């Protein structure tokens, strides 16, 4: 059974919230855990890049970027025509679902490592690449050429948000110092699973705190918050298999396709689309899609990968 011990901590967080247990993480600790996971993922990816850098990786990266542009285009018409949401809200939510969740990716990596399932370790490069196209596409869908956004500020948010800077930095450091990381390995590599458990405990409480918002947003957002990850996950898996990735690698690309951002995109959308209903986007992403992916989605994506690979 694909059940990781860190997921038990996520459930503990959910239960603690419903029991109204007074567990309080300092806000700075949550931020630190997120940064730790991003650096650790970036470093691991950098080490793998140093070993596997090739021309085919550039072609794979181009395909992944194209995938990042396609996902919001799939989500937008569903939100606008079926969900009857406004253009700006539809575009903002589509951007969230086109981008990726580093937390979900970290859980999937944790599961693979616990189960000893091999995967292409350079996938963190794809995590970074998938952060950006969805934001650009979301803005394009919302504005349709009538842009009144502060482009300088927005470009800064897209390319210099904390996720991109920390992960790209980790990738470069890992790439350049691949043979010389033994001094920081005990912190960033050996403690990865323990930190992930703490992160998921906090995320469980955060997700459960969104429960009332989800009830208010209605059944459509619940159905969308489950359907879109499954569609994105299936397409990501299909792309991974067609790129010749292993079952673990295709499963991870499916996780990236099926996850929704709750760190980088909300910050960018607040700058680009200040009139959008940001609470709706973050509730769907954190309250529906993140728990769905952690508890049900990730094993399903690896199932897709096994079906499509055979």
Partner 1 sequence: MLDKQTVFGVVVGLVVLALGLFSSMQGFDGAGLMLVSFMILLATMMTWRFGQAETLMVPIRISEQSSRQSTR
Residue ranges that bind partner 1, judged by CB under 8 A: 1-2, 78, 81-84, 218-220, 222-224, 226-227, 230, 292, 295-296, 299-300, 303
Q: Distances from the Cα of 134 to the Cαs of 36, 74, 271, 274, in angstroms? A: 24, 11, 15, 17
Shortest Cβ 303–partner 1 spacing (Å): 6
Residues 6+ away with beta carbon under 8 Å from 213: 279, 280, 283, 287
Q: Residue 305: helix, strand or coil by DSSP? A: helix
Instruction: Give the E-state strand segments of the chain in sequence order.
Output: none
Shortest Cβ 223–partner 1 spacing (Å): 4
Shortest Cβ 201–partner 1 spacing (Å): 20
Q: Which C-beta is closer to partner 1: that of 119 or that of 234?
A: 234
* Helix H or strand E segment including 273: none
Shortest Cβ 307–partner 1 spacing (Å): 8
Shortest Cβ 229–partner 1 spacing (Å): 11
Q: Token match 């970074």: residue?
A: 128
Q: Which C-beta is closer to partner 1: that of 103 or that of 297?
A: 297
Token pair for 276: 């959008």
Token pair for 90: 């539809």
Q: Token match 């690309």: residue?
A: 253
Q: Which C-beta is closer to partner 1: that of 3 or that of 187?
A: 3
Shortest Cβ 217–partner 1 spacing (Å): 11
Q: Which C-beta is closer to partner 1: that of 46 or that of 287?
A: 287
Q: Which C-beta is closer to partner 1: that of 250 or that of 273?
A: 250
CB 50 within 8 A of CB 178: yes
User: Nearest Cα to 234, choosing from 289, 310, 306, 288?
Assistant: 306
**d(C-alpha 170, C-alpha 40), whole Å:** 7
Shortest Cβ 76–partner 1 spacing (Å): 15
Q: Which C-beta is closer to partner 1: that of 48 or that of 108?
A: 108
| Cα dihedral across residues 205, 208, 212, 217: positive or negative | positive
Q: Which C-beta is closer to partner 1: that of 64 or that of 78?
A: 78
CB 233 within 8 A of CB 301: yes
Q: Which C-beta is closer to partner 1: that of 66 or that of 82?
A: 82
Alpha-carbon 4 to chain mean position: 18
Shortest Cβ 219–partner 1 spacing (Å): 4
For the chain, how many helices (H) and strands (E)? 18, 0
Token pair for 21: 């247990």
| 263 secondary structure, DSSP code | S
């Amino acid at each position: 059974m694909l059940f990781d011990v860190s997921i038990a901590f996520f459930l503990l967080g959910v239960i603690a919230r419903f029991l109204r247990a007074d567990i309080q993480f300092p806000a700075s600790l949550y931020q630190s855990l997120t940064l730790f996971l991003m650096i650790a993922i970036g470093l691991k990816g950098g080490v793998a890049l140093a070993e596997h850098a090739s021309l085919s990786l550039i072609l794979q990266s181009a395909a992944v970027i194209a995938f990042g542009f396609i996902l919001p285009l799939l989500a937008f018409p569903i939100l606008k025509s079926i969900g009857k949401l406004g253009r700006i809200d539809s575009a903002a939510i589509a951007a969230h679902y086109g981008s990726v969740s580093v937390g979900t990716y970290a859980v999937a990596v944790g599961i693979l490592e616990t189960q000893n399932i091999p995967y292409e370790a350079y996938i963190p490069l794809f995590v970074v690449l998938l952060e950006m196209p969805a934001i650009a596409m979301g803005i394009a869908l919302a504005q349709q050429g009538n842009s009144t956004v502060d482009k300088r500020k927005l470009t800064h948010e897209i390319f210099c948000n904390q996720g991109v800077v920390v992960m790209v930095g980790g990738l470069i450091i890992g790439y350049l110092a691949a043979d010389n990381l033994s001094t920081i390995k005990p912190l960033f590599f050996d403690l990865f699973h323990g930190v992930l458990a703490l992160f998921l405990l906090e995320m469980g409480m955060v997700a459960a705190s969104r429960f009332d918002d989800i009830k208010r947003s209605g059944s459509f957002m619940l159905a969308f918050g489950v359907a879109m990850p499954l569609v994105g996950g299936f397409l990501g898996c299909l792309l991974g298999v067609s790129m010749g990735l292993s079952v673990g690698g295709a499963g991870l690309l499916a996780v990236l396709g099926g996850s929704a951002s709750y760190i980088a995109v909300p910050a960018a959308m607040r700058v680009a689309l200040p009139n959008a209903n940001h609470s709706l986007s973050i509730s769907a992403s954190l309250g529906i899609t993140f728990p769905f992916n952690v508890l049900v989605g990730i094993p399903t994506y690896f199932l897709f990968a096994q079906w499509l690979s055979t």
